[in-house]
Amino acid sequence: MSRWIIALTVILPTLLEVIDTSVVNVSLDHIRGSLSAGIDEATWTITAYLVANAIIIPMTGWLSRLFGRKRYLMFSVTLFTLASFLCGSAHSLSQLVFYRILQGIGGGGLQPLSQAILLETFPPIMHGTAMAVYGIGILVGPIIGPVLGGWITDNWSWPWIFYINIPIGLLSIIMTMFFITDPPYLKRVNIKEKIDYWGLSLIVIGIGCLQVVLDKGEREDWFSSDFITRLSIISVVALIAFVIAELRAKDPILNLRALKNAAFASANMIQFIAFFSLFGSIILLPIFVQQLLGYTSFLAGMVLAPGGVATLLLMPIVGLAVTRINPKAILICGITTMAYSMFMMTQFNLSVDYDIVAWSRIIMGVGMGMIMVPLMTMAFATVKKEEMANATSIFSLVRNIAGSFGVAIMTTILARRVQFHQARLSEQANPYDTHYQLGLNKAMAVLGPKAGAVSEHAASGLIFQEMMRQANLFSFNDAFHIASIMMICVVPLVFLLKRPRHDVPAAAVH
């Protein structure tokens, strides 16, 4: 029973932290209206949180050694809870952005900390179950966020999307105080002698700039913007220097040597592609149904929700199955299932109904449920307990960066392919093309007996609108097609993973 109390203690704040990465998205109009800000200014409330979050994640293992895991966990939850209160009480956009940075700093360590604690609390034979519990939080959170944020904003007001964190945060602080202890092998770092200042500085600059580039790149038209170009150069230089510095450091902020483990490195690559495709798809699907099918925001959310429910229901079952069935087989089934779900999306047309769209999302949810549990179980099967915090920091960083890359690149593909298909379709829209003339005559017949020139002009407008809808449809199909191929390409990496041993003695409960 004590293991499950510990699991609840670490999962509660982690779920809140993941939800807060997306809960603000649907409330931006209300926030900018009440704080008198433009939409581009308001989006910094999202970017600020993501940047702070991404910077802290890779430093979690080092901070745990520096301050002690329990102490750092309590600090993180306390700061996240306090910052949530401050966000809700902000009176200006600059205040809200600053408080979101504090919230991101507090929340950044919660994902890797909770994963490390769960893996050490549960014996190896129960790692599948532990990762199922953890996976529910990180996969369902991004889907709950927009739905919860929209409902709270519509029925109460936007500050309550932050205030709702406070009672759960306080409960988590109390539970952490009573139920979490540091493992005996965790020794605190000598602050004066062993702080990796170069690594600390470079990772803050590199990850921070990268996150801003990924979040703002599409809106700024990527490298046509001097702002994005400069940040990209700074990020690349800083991250290359960070890798060199960490490989030479005696006590690095992030021990990148863990990636020499072929199984762990392969798991990270599979995870990157899976979350790239997942986050890219759950961004594109609501846009597709709203822009081309005329769905409301609520109906668009209901397209995503069944997939989250499918994942929620399946993961505990998969958690039990990985101890009885080869987890590699389950993982391959999950990857192919997810690839098939995105192949279904490549077949969408302008008359597709809700059931087909929702089913494609449900199948994707089933695929992710079969991917994450065996993947996380095998990723850490060859990692020593002493290296677990560092490994979970790397794993969480890869997951978050993958989501950011997925959103940025998939939306860019969408925008670029719209232009491509519009140009190709426009080649046929000329007075000398037979199909164009037939379409023009049909459109004029629909408009009725009006003056010839006016009727022809209006009919041309209808044809152009339909052409744009078709160009948008083809661009969505292309984006889903690319994601489907990427998923299939990672199947060979599964064979580099190691099956976990279940005969290892259980670790001491925290």
Segment 261-280 mean pLDDT: 89
pLDDT bin (cut points 50, 70, 90) of residue 506 is: very low
- Angle made by CA atoms 191, 192, 195, in degrees to the nearest 5: 60
| 195-231 pLDDT per residue, tens | 777 888 888 888 888 888 887 887 788 888 888 899 9
Cβ(480)–Cβ(357) below 8 Å: no
Do 382 and 396 sit in the same domain of this protein?
A: yes
DSSP for 424-455, written as a single string: HHHTT-STT-HHHHHHHHHHHHHH-S--HHHH
Q: 153 and 15 in one domain?
A: yes
What tokens does 449 get? Answer: 């007996």
pLDDT score, position 230: 92
pLDDT at residue 484, rounded to an integer: 92
**Reduced to 3 states, what is the DSSP secondary structure of residue 224?**
helix
Question: Is the confidence at residue 508, as pLDDT, over 70?
Answer: no
Instruction: State both tokens at 289.
Output: 């149904």
Q: Average pLDDT in the 95-114 region?
A: 87
Q: Taking a C-beta distance cutoff of 8 angstroms, is the pair 158, 30 a contact?
A: yes
Residues 176 and 274 occupy one common structural domain: no
457-475 pLDDT tens trace: 555 556 667 777 888 889 9
Lowest mean pLDDT among 24-38, 425-439, 491-505: 425-439
Residue 210 sits in which domain range? 197-250
What CATH number is associated with residue 413?
1.20.1250.20
Same domain as 112, residue 24: yes
The whole-number pLDDT of residue 463 equals 62
- Percent helix, strand and coil across the chain, each to the nearest 5: 80, 0, 20
Q: State whether 237 and 118 are in the same domain.
A: no
**Does position 273 have pLDDT exceeding 60, yes or no?**
yes
Are 362 and 436 part of one and the same domain? no
The reply to whether 17 and 45 lie within a common domain is yes
| Domains held by the chain: number | 4
109 plus 12 within the same structural domain? yes
Residues 481 and 492 in one domain: yes
Residues 190 and 66: their CA atoms lie apart, in Å, by: 8
* Res. 340 pLDDT band, cuts 50 70 90: very high
Assess whether 34 and 167 both reside in one domain.
yes
